[in-house]
Amino acid sequence: MKTVDLTRVVDAVEELLDLATDDGVLLRLPNGKVFLLRSVVEDDEEHDDFADEIARTRQNSALMALLEARSQEQARIPAEEARRRLGLDT
pTM: 0.41
Bridge partners (DSSP) listed for residue 28: 34
Q: What is the pLDDT of residues 54-83, one digit of tens each?
A: 888 989 999 999 989 888 888 888 899 999
Question: Is the CB of residue 53 less than 8 Å from the CB of residue 45?
Answer: no
**67 to 34, 64, 74, 77: CA distances (angstroms):** 14, 5, 14, 18
C-alpha to C-alpha distance for 64 and 69, rounded to whole angstroms: 9
Of 28, 73, 83, 50, nearest in space to 38 by CA: 50
Query: What pLDDT does residue 86 have?
Result: 92
